[in-house]
């Protein structure tokens, strides 16, 4: 069975207003913690809406925030292999909680359901973190 997609916006109208916050939304969905709490933690770790391709700190911002919230993230890489199809959210395991890094986006897959504000199931997954309570 392939993984499903469900529109999900964890921000409420009372939460901090910002856009380009896929990293924050993914951590919120993976951990079940309030949006504003995760926003403040990630902002303190240097998160900002404008990032350059040279900015590699965003990975550490995610993993450090997860650790501070009491979660462990195990990184899995999915490099392209000539002649083989790339991994997508549709071909990820259908159990567990994953934060996926796809092209110019980060999303959360929980027990076979991609929870996000847009359907990126067909995007290539470059790497993913498997999320567990610490």
* pTM of the predicted model over 0.95: no
**pLDDT of 92-108, one tens digit each?**
999 999 999 998 899 99
**Tens digits of residue pLDDT in 7-62:** 999 988 887 777 788 999 999 999 999 999 999 998 888 876 555 544 567 888 89
- Pairing relationship of beta strands 4-7 and 113-116 according to DSSP bridges: parallel
Classify residue 133 by burial, with Cβ atoms within 10 Å: 0-12, 13-18, 19+: exposed
130 close to 97: Cβ distance less than 8 angstroms: yes
User: Is the domain defined by 4-8+19-133 classed in CATH 1.20.1250.20?
Assistant: no
Say what angle helices 22-31 and 35-44 make with each other, to 10 degrees: 120
pLDDT at 19: 72
Q: How far apart are CA 114 and CA 97, in angstroms?
A: 10
Supply the pLDDT for residue 126: 94
């Amino acid at each position: 069975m392939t993984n499903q997609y469900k529109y999900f916006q964890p921000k409420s109208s009372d939460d901090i207003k910002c856009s380009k916050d896929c990293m924050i939304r993914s951590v919120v969905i993976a951990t079940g913690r309030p949006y504003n709490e995760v926003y403040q933690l990630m902002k303190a770790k240097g998160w900002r809406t404008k990032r350059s391709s040279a900015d590699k700190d965003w990975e550490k911002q995610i993993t450090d925030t997860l650790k501070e919230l009491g979660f462990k993230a195990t990184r899995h890489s999915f490099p392209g292999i000539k002649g083989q199809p790339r991994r997508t959210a549709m071909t990820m395991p259908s159990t567990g909680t994953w934060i996926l890094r796809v092209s110019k986006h980060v999303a959360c897959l929980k027990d076979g359901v991609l929870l996000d504000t847009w359907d990126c199931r067909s995007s290539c997954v470059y790497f993913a973190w498997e999320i567990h309570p610490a």
